[in-house]
């Protein structure tokens, strides 16, 4: 598994992934992909067999109430996984690292994310909620 970290998140997440044994992980900026539109990134992510990590959940998985109904992954038949880090607006580096660490722990228990979304959400009561589901849902 290799992670591609969205430009809306810190490159330090890619560093964390590398330290945890995911040596091929990278950041959009490191690959010269900063500023690309989501629709331009999707084929690069899918064709490169990347597990994409973003905080722009709606843009990639669609609305929370109906994942896959819209968003960049709505028309993707097979993908290496999508990790959505959901936190408060202006999520700081510590929160990003904490949420991604939770994602890595979850992946460690079952590393298969093919056609799955892993949502890691910081709740208002300071708890972290992890949810995993298939996208597309008919798998």
pLDDT tens-place string over residues 70-123: 999 999 999 999 999 999 888 999 999 999 999 999 998 777 899 999 999 999
Q: How far is CA 30 from CA 4, 18, 21, 126, in A?
A: 10, 14, 18, 32
Do the domain assignments include residue 104?
yes
Do the domain assignments include residue 139?
no
Do the domain assignments include residue 26?
yes
Q: Running DSSP on this structure, what letter comes out for residue 97?
A: H
- Confirm if 79 and 115 have CB atoms less than 8 A apart: yes
| Domain boundaries, position 88 | 3-134
pLDDT tens-place string over residues 38-49: 999 999 999 999
Do the domain assignments include residue 83?
yes
Distance CA(135)–CA(117), nearest Å, equals: 6
Q: How many domains does the chain have?
A: 1
Looking at residues 6-26, what average pLDDT do you find? Answer: 97
**What's the whole-model pTM score?**
0.94
């Amino acid at each position: 598994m290799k992670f591609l970290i969205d430009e809306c998140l810190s490159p330090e997440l890619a560093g964390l992934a590398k330290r945890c044994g995911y040596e091929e992980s990278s950041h959009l900026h490191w690959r010269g992909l900063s500023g690309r539109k989501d629709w331009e990134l999707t084929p690069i992510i899918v064709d490169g067999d990347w597990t994409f990590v973003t905080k722009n959940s709606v843009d990639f998985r669609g609305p929370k109430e109906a994942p896959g109904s819209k968003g960049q992954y709505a028309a993707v038949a097979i993908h290496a996984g999508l990790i959505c880090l959901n936190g408060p607006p202006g999520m700081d580096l510590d929160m990003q690292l904490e949420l991604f660490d939770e994602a890595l722990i979850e992946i460690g228990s079952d590393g298969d994310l093919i056609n799955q979304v892993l949502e890691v959400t910081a709740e208002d009561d300071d708890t972290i909620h992890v949810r995993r589901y298939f996208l597309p849902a008919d798998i």
